[in-house]
Structure 1
């Protein structure tokens, strides 16, 4: 499953540089699928959705840091645990029950994002 940042976030920014997928953004910041990945142009995501990797996407939160679920792999393929949760001083990076994925799915997503 993906990780979510709860509204207890203090906007310290400790999590953002730790994400190997560039799935974490500051509140109100636009995001793109291409950010921190090898995706370019029109791509079909593992869930079958077609997107333009370079198109600006709407922020998920305007108030605090947020994680893009379709880019989050819980650091599978990079680390043994989600790095955002490991460095968060207020423990607000928690599993997102609305985006539950198997280890295999997360590893496939990691390979897709980084063309490995």
Structure 2
């Protein structure tokens, strides 16, 4: 699954630079995550960095974007051109 940022986001700006895939961007009201770029940090780190730095815990899994660890790793390979 990709991650998502909920309405509890306080726009603290710590998640965006923590994302190795540049999947996080400033939306109209809060930060948002592009599911096409989110790998939950698979291939980069052991756990999602945005979740690690978020001070209010508003970045859960996105139930609308279900992906296996293998799919996330394949997305990582495509995004980073590592094979």
- Higher normalized strand content (fraction of residues): 1
TM-score class, shorter: over 0.9
1:112 Cα deviation after fit: 0.1
**Gaps (5+ residues) in structure 1?**
28-61
Calculate the TM-score normalised by the size of structure 1.
Answer: 0.70
1:106 Cα deviation after fit: 0.2
> Pairwise CA RMSD of aligned residues?
0.5
Q: Deviations over 1:44-64 (max 9, x none)?
A: xxxxxxxxxxxxxxxxxx110
Q: Figure out how many residues of one structure are paired with residues of the other and give that number.
A: 82
Runs of 4+ in 1 over 6 A off after TM superposition: none
- Higher normalized helix content (fraction of residues): 2
**Gaps (5+ residues) in structure 2?**
none
1:26 Cα deviation after fit: 1.2
- Which of 1 and 2 has greater Rg? 1
